[in-house]
Chains A and B, each alone.
Chain A
Amino acid sequence: MPLIHASDGVNWKKKHLIANPYIRIGLAFTAVVYLALALSSVEVNWVRVQEGLGRGAAFVGSFLHPDFTSRWNEIFEGILESLTMTIVSTALGILLSIPVGIGAAGNIAPFPVYFLCRSIIAVSRTFPEVIIAIFFVAMFGFGALAGMLTLTFATIGFMAKLLAEDIEDIDPVQTEAIRSTGAGFFQMLTWSVQPQVMPRLIGLSVYRLDINFRESAVIGIVGAGGIGATLNTSIDRYEYDTTAAILIVIIVIVMCAEYVSGIIRKRLQ
């Protein structure tokens, strides 16, 4: 703790977050210069914003009287499609992410396999789901199949990375114990690696289910099925009451999913 000797005795000062003063001041200076440049390049058409504020207020107000009825069929079908996409893509994604994750764990995979699996993870994690969806739509045509494959692809990168990190962190003593009984590679995986990573894997799967549902609401904007298309149409038509209804349905489902996944994760620990 830094102490400062002042004329009236010794004062105590709070510790800085960054200890090195040169880096601290340098970072602060860079931040200020960047902020000035960035803010000056933001063009805001205040007249347009003022015009839009009424529409914004109408949108916020529509949450008080959401319209579930007039487009109920579209909403119901969209949500159902989103849910089916979510379930299949999460299951398929986890299934495929397990071999990739095992291959990407440095402590049990040989280098060529490690490199290949890490590359798959990197590509899958770099591009946002929407960009991947655009390409899958171009390949497989409009609809839920393209969306399902997009989410599967994104799930592989997410799950495999975390699984690989988890496998790299396991207790090597247990692996050694199983190996010393004369177990082969797959027996080692089942009896030493699997029991150690399983609780976290299940927790992550539930979390990814949640993410996939939220993402499934978005990729419909580029034609990959799900509730996104309905949402997009309702916004384009300025039917804010329907928009609010869809958003409320999404929020409620996400809240339920989070509540259930919280219970599941607590039980596993």
Chain B
Amino acid sequence: MPLIKKNGAVFWTPKDSKKQLMVWFGWFIGLMLIFLSWRSISANTIWVFAADAPEQLRLMIMRMFPPKFEYLNKLWKPLWDTLNIATLGTLLGIVIAVPVAFLAASNTTPSRKLVRPFAMLILVSSRSVNSLIWALLLVTIVGPGIFAGIIAIALRSVGFVGKLLYEAIEEIDRTQVEAVTATGAAPSQVFSYGIVPQIMPAFAGISLYRWDINIRESTILGYVGAGGIGLNLSASLSILAWSQVSVILISVLGTVIASEWISARIRKMLI
């Protein structure tokens, strides 16, 4: 810790002056970037429209209340579809992600130079593209409906599950694998007795976590035609049926809270 002498007294500072200068320079660049970005957003905004936002919010809330709860009866099927999109999509995603993760992990990949970069590319591409964009594409390819939603969720989940899983595989304890190999086990036995038990808790946790996220994401896929409750949301918004929108929001809230509760329970059981 550097000490600074000033006017005969000694002061303590957390950083020395050179480091402090670097920190200030970093802040300067960062703040400039933020300021320039804000100016560009502000220049493209019609402030007259933005200024009456509180009034718009008040009107919106007024239109949303009271919620039209009879509409809930029409929502059970879309909610069931939403649940299925999330669950089946997660399962399909996991099925694809597991082999890719083993190809991507540096200690299990067959070739670090050829196979690993390719597996990494699959994972990054899948992760960079949001499930809604996948859904947008898939609706034009396989047609509207929950099938497109399931595949969209699966394609997005591959990158997420794959990345976290390959990191877990890379962190396994080598000695256990060596111990199993030393007993004369075949590669498949080394795999199932040396590697799988070590990554199983992480795998279960990752899958549950992704399922939780997928429930949330599948509620909006319908907005682009990929099935589920988002379909009702976009339909209600386009006919300005705000009292139905509030019912939909409440049911989304309920679904998300329920799924979090379920996944917390299962997590406790597994880990």
* Contact indicator B41/A41 (Cβ below 8 Å): no
Known: A17-B200, A221-B132. Is A49-B53 also a contact (CB below 8 A)? no
* Contact indicator A254/B49 (Cβ below 8 Å): no
* Contact indicator B147/A42 (Cβ below 8 Å): yes
* Contact indicator B45/A135 (Cβ below 8 Å): no
* Contact indicator B140/A235 (Cβ below 8 Å): yes
Contacts of B253 on A, CB cut-off 8 Å? 126-127
Interface string of A84-124 (1 = CB under 8 A from B): 11011001000000000000000000000000000000000
A260 to B134, CA, bound (A): 26
| Interface window among B67-75, B103-111, B123-131, B171-179 | B123-131
Contacts of A38 on B, CB cut-off 8 Å? 83-84, 87-88
Known: A135-B60, A251-B128. Is A17-B270 also a contact (CB below 8 A)? yes
Does chain A have a CB within 8 A of B44? yes
Does chain A have a CB within 8 A of B100? no
B186 to chain A, nearest CB (A): 16
Who on chain B is nearest to A85 by CB? B41
A contact residues, range: 35 or more
Does chain B have a CB within 8 A of A45? yes
* Contact indicator B128/A232 (Cβ below 8 Å): no
Who on chain B is nearest to A140 by CB? B50
Does chain A have a CB within 8 A of B256? yes
* Contact indicator B141/A222 (Cβ below 8 Å): no
* Contact indicator A87/B137 (Cβ below 8 Å): no
* Contact indicator B223/A222 (Cβ below 8 Å): yes
Does chain B have a CB within 8 A of A218? yes
* Contact indicator B60/A139 (Cβ below 8 Å): yes
A195 to B60, CA, bound (A): 43
Known: A17-B204, A148-B41. Is A88-B34 also a contact (CB below 8 A)? yes
Does chain A have a CB within 8 A of B133? yes
Who on chain A is nearest to B218 by CB? A128
* Contact indicator A42/B150 (Cβ below 8 Å): yes
Interface string of B220-261 (1 = CB under 8 A from A): 100110000000010001000000000001001100110000
Does chain A have a CB within 8 A of B210? no
* Contact indicator A221/B136 (Cβ below 8 Å): yes
* Contact indicator B50/A145 (Cβ below 8 Å): yes
Chosen A-B contacts, 29 in total, with CB atoms closer than 8 Å, are A14-B193, A15-B197, A38-B88, A41-B80, A42-B146, A42-B147, A43-B145, A44-B145, A45-B147, A49-B142, A53-B141, A56-B141, A80-B40, A81-B40, A87-B37, A126-B256, A128-B216, A131-B220, A131-B249, A144-B41, A144-B44, A145-B41, A215-B130, A221-B224, A235-B137, A235-B140, A251-B125, A251-B128, A258-B124
Q: Give 7 nearest A-B pairs by CB, closest first.
A: A141-B49, A84-B37, A48-B143, A254-B128, A56-B141, A139-B53, A52-B141
